[in-house]
Amino acid sequence: MLADAGCMTTTQRKPFRAKKASSTPPPTVLVDTQDATEAATEFVYAVTAALGLNTVDLTEADEVPKAAHIQITGNTLSADSRRWHYPDHEAKFERWVVSKCFPRTEHSTAWAVVQTSTDTYPLLAAAMAYAVADEGVLLIDADAAGTLTAAILDDTEHAIEVLGYDLALPSPHIYVLNAPRWAGVAMMLQVNGQSPLNSILIAEAAIAAQYHYKHVVINCGADLFMAQRLAAEGVQVVHLDDFIRPLYVDFEPYKKLDYAEDRIPDYGTRRDFEFIYKNTRRRKGMRRWMERGETR
C-alpha cells in the first residue's frame, strides 16, 4: 500500500493541513534580474518559491517591505555585500536566504527514539510528537522499514502527503518548511527509503528542523548508528532495549529503558494513531515523561 501514497516534490507546494492558518503574510524578496542568465534566474525563483516566499522583480517593485534584495549578474548572486556563484554555491545561498527571511526558533529541543528490543512500541515517536504539538513540532520518520509511516498512512486513509526528494533543490530547509501537517503536527514521512534527508542526511535535516520548530521528534527504528550520530549533534535519544543481547554502539542516551520493566505512559504504547492525534487529555503525562531523563 505504501507505493500508492501521494507524493510531491519540494517545489510543488500544497496547503498544509493545519488547525489554524497563519495570518502573517510570507516575507517578500526583491530580485534584480536585468543582467542575469536564465539558469541563475530560474534557480533563485525556484528557491524562493520552494521556501514559500513572495518574489518581486525590481521592475515591479512597490512599497511593500522587502526581507532581502538579491541582484543577479550573469551567474553571480549578490546580496548584503556577499556573493555566490551559480551553480557552485547553491547550498550556501539557500542557507543565507533562510537566515535572512526566517527567524530562528529559540530553545528548540530534539528527541530521537531508537528501539532495539524484540517487541516495540510502533507509535511511540508519534505520541511524543503530539505531546508537544501545541508548541510546534516536526515528526521525522527515519526508520528505513517505514513501519511508523505505514501505520500513520493506514490510519488516515493515506490523506497525508509524502514529500518526494527533489535533487534539483537538495535543501533540508526547503523540505522541512514544506512538511505537510496532520492535526497540528508537521510530518516528514518515509516511503521506500526514497529521501536521503530521512537517512544519510538525517543530521542536517535535524539541524534545519530545529531552526524552524520548537520541538523535533525523530523515529530511528532500530538503527543505533543513526541514533549515535544524532546524539553527537545534541539530540536527546530515548533508547528502548530488552537487554537480551550485547550492543556494540558506544553512546550515552538521554533515556535508556528496559522494554519489559520500565513503565512508559499508556499514551506512548498505543497502536492506533487515531487515538493519539485525537486524544489531548493524556499529553501532559507523556510530556513529563519525555522531559525526565532516565538512564540505567
SS (H, E, C) 187-230: EECCCCCCCHHHCCCHHHHHHHHHHHCCEEEEECCCCHHHHHHH
Q: Which residues pair with 239 in a beta bridge?
A: 114, 256
**pLDDT number for residue 249:** 86
**pLDDT number for residue 82:** 94
**pLDDT number for residue 168:** 61
CA distance 53 to 25: 9
**pLDDT number for residue 251:** 87
Q: Say if residue 73's pLDDT is above 90.
A: yes
CA distance 224 to 228: 6
Selected residue with higher pLDDT from 218 and 195: 218
Res. 25 pLDDT band, cuts 50 70 90? confident
**CB-side exposure of 291: number of CA atoms within 13 Å?**
9
Q: Say if residue 6's pLDDT is above 60.
A: no
Give tens-digit pLDDT for 196-206. 777 788 999 99
**pLDDT number for residue 197:** 77
Query: What are the structural domains of the chain?
Result: 28-101 (no CATH), 107-291 (3.40.50)
| Residue where the block lists cell 502573517 | 24
Give tens-digit pLDDT for 213-233. 999 999 999 999 999 999 999
Q: Say if residue 71's pLDDT is above 60.
A: yes
What percentage of residues in the chain have a pLDDT greater than 70? 87
CA pseudo-torsion sign 242, 221, 218, 247: positive
Spatial contact of 241 and 117, defined as CB atoms under 8 Å apart: yes
**pLDDT number for residue 250:** 84
Q: Say if residue 153's pLDDT is above 90.
A: yes
Alpha helices by DSSP H, 115-201 = 124-131, 147-155, 172-177
The cell for 239 is 533508547
**pLDDT number for residue 281:** 92
What percentage of residues in the chain have a pLDDT greater than 90? 69
* Mean pLDDT of all residues in 105-121: 96
Res. 23 pLDDT band, cuts 50 70 90? low
Q: Say if residue 21's pLDDT is above 80.
A: no
**pLDDT number for residue 295:** 57
Spatial contact of 172 and 249, defined as CB atoms under 8 Å apart: no
| Residue where the block lists cell 535535524 | 206
| H/E run at residue 71 | strand 68-74
Q: Say if residue 274's pLDDT is above 50.
A: yes
Q: Say if residue 53's pLDDT is above 70.
A: yes
* Mean pLDDT of all residues in 140-149: 93
Spatial contact of 55 and 48, defined as CB atoms under 8 Å apart: yes
Indicate the pTM of the whole model.
0.87
* Mean pLDDT of all residues in 181-209: 87
Q: Say if residue 130's pLDDT is above 70.
A: yes
Please, what is the average pLDDT of the chain? 87
- Omega of the bond prior to 87 within 30 degrees of 0, cis? yes
Res. 296 pLDDT band, cuts 50 70 90? low
